[in-house]
Structure 1
Amino acid sequence: MDQIRDLGFWRKSGEALCRLRQRRRLSLRDCAQATGLCAEDLLNVEVGNIFAFIHGGKLDADIFTAYERFLKNGVTPVESANDSTFRLIAAQDHIPVDPALPSFLRTI
């Protein structure tokens, strides 16, 4: 329960992840689909609502760390949403854009 005492840390970390997601121009839905996590859980991470992750008196920080890994490293789950093993993929910034594609269809 010591982790719960520092609510300011969780709020600041959540705000930083929200800014990172917005800089990469991703929606919560995009992140939820890429990680296999629930969009509601990701929103709880961003606003620092750690009380949504307390189960049986213990803090379950797996969702926070999975979301943080995805945003910082561009990772996706290997097998399922509940699997904590992740593999690196190329960050979206480095995906080449086909010049034949009309500009209104480009997302980057």
Structure 2
Amino acid sequence: MPGIPVITQCRFCPTAIRSRCAERGQVPRSVPPPPHVIARRKRVGDTIRAARLKRNWTQEAFALHAGIDRASYIRIEQGQASPLLDTLIIISEALGVPLADLVRE
């Protein structure tokens, strides 16, 4: 049946399971978030950036201080990535800002 994912065993790692789209044999793509979610993600990134700049940190220095990959941190700050809650907690603790302040509208 087209469009229904097929669960198979990975040929490289027998303990891993893969999901493929039966229609074309490809891994199903995720649906992009709606525009209001992307806009909200960018506002959170702007808040994080403002808190970082207030403390005179560069992106690289802050990412190193927080123990986060620099490229990942930059994508979060630019609103291009959706961080895990754990990552937001690490960022808030490294900035010395309550988590609620980073995500509050």
In 1, the alpha carbon distance for the partners of 2:46 and 2:97 equals: 17
Partner of 1:43: 74
Partner of 1:71: 95
Contact 1:41–1:63, Cα closer than 8 Å, also in 2: no
In 2, the alpha carbon distance for the partners of 1:37 and 1:23 equals: 19
2:40 corresponds to 1:9: yes
Flag the structure with larger Rg.
2
* Residues 93-108 of structure 1 aligned to structure 2 (within 5 Å): none
Tell me the amino acid that sits aligned with residue 70 of structure 2.
Answer: A
Q: Deviations over 1:3-28 (max 9, x none)?
A: x4311111001011101111110011
Q: State the shift of 1:40 in Å.
A: 0.7
Bigger relative contact order, structure 1 or 2, given CA contacts below 8 A and separation 6+? 1
Which runs of 5 or more residues in structure 1 are unaligned? Answer: 54-59, 75-108
Partner of 2:19: none
User: Moved runs in structure 1, 4+ residues, more than 3 A?
Assistant: none
* Residues 72-91 of structure 1 aligned to structure 2 (within 5 Å): 72-73=96-97
Tell me the amino acid that sits aligned with residue 65 of structure 1.
Answer: I
TM value normalised by structure 1: 0.50
Contact 1:28–1:39, Cα closer than 8 Å, also in 2: yes
TM value normalised by structure 2: 0.51
Q: Deviations over 1:12-50 (max 9, x none)?
A: 010111011111100112212211111111101110012
Tell me the amino acid that sits aligned with residue 70 of structure 1.
Answer: A
Which runs of 5 or more residues in structure 2 are unaligned? Answer: 1-29, 99-105
Q: CA RMSD in A?
A: 2.9
In 1, the alpha carbon distance for the partners of 2:48 and 2:78 equals: 10
